Amino acid sequence: MADDIQLVSQFWWKFSVILGCCSLLLFETIVFTTFSPERKYKCYRAQFVIVINLVFVVGSRYLWKRLVRDVITTAWPKHIELFWKFGVVTFLFLAHFAPASLYFLSKEPTFLGMASWTCFGAYVLIFSILVSVGIVAGILEHFLNSRCFSKRLQAVFTVFTTTLCTYAAFQIALSPPQIVR
């Protein structure tokens, strides 16, 4: 049963990639040539937002696996587990919304725009730190023939480090400028 689902998933993934490439070529050659430069610019911006979010989906699935499935244990109370999942989903949603916030929100800074770009920065940090810690743990495990850091400890360390880095960045951003003579 699981093999059938995986085969169907692979088929639809390949089919959607082929269909997307064909529709892009058709759109570029037939429809796009009649657009004004301003309309082409808006279409390219919308395409850019879509492509960035499609790339983020892979990273978001990885972060969900590492931050939810590897962190939550059966000993957690149900309400704490739901709160943690809600926080991760909100974080991922805001990180995905960041590129679109420039396109859909006003030009003035808004709370939603600032929160989404903060989550975007934290997303990049947490992803790079989590991958790096995972690689280092894998190398240590290979050479020491024992597991030094569990996946749960890696995820908790990554969230803690990202939170500290984001807090430090806020403190630097909110501090008044220093004049050097």
For residue 124, what pLDDT is reported?
92
Cα 107 to Cα 128: distance, rounded to the nearest angstrom: 30
For the whole model, what pTM was predicted? 0.74
Cα 168 to Cα 125: distance, rounded to the nearest angstrom: 13
Residue 76 DSSP class: S
Place of tokens 């030009």: 107
DSSP string, 144-168: HSS--S-HHHHHHHHHHHHHHHHHH
For residue 5, what pLDDT is reported?
60
6 or 119, which is more confident: 119
Q: Assign 128 a pLDDT band (cuts: 50, 70, 90).
A: very high
Q: How many CA atoms lie within 13 A of 12 on its CB side?
A: 5
Cα 16 to Cα 24: distance, rounded to the nearest angstrom: 12
Cα 131 to Cα 162: distance, rounded to the nearest angstrom: 13
Cα 21 to Cα 38: distance, rounded to the nearest angstrom: 24
Cα 121 to Cα 110: distance, rounded to the nearest angstrom: 17
Cα 164 to Cα 169: distance, rounded to the nearest angstrom: 9
Joined tokens for residue 8: 């169907």
State mean pLDDT over 93-98: 88
pLDDT digits 0-9 by tens, 30-62:
666 777 778 777 777 777 777 788 878 888 888
Residue 86 amino acid letter: F
Contact 148, 141 (CB under 8 A): yes
Domain ranges of the chain: 56-174
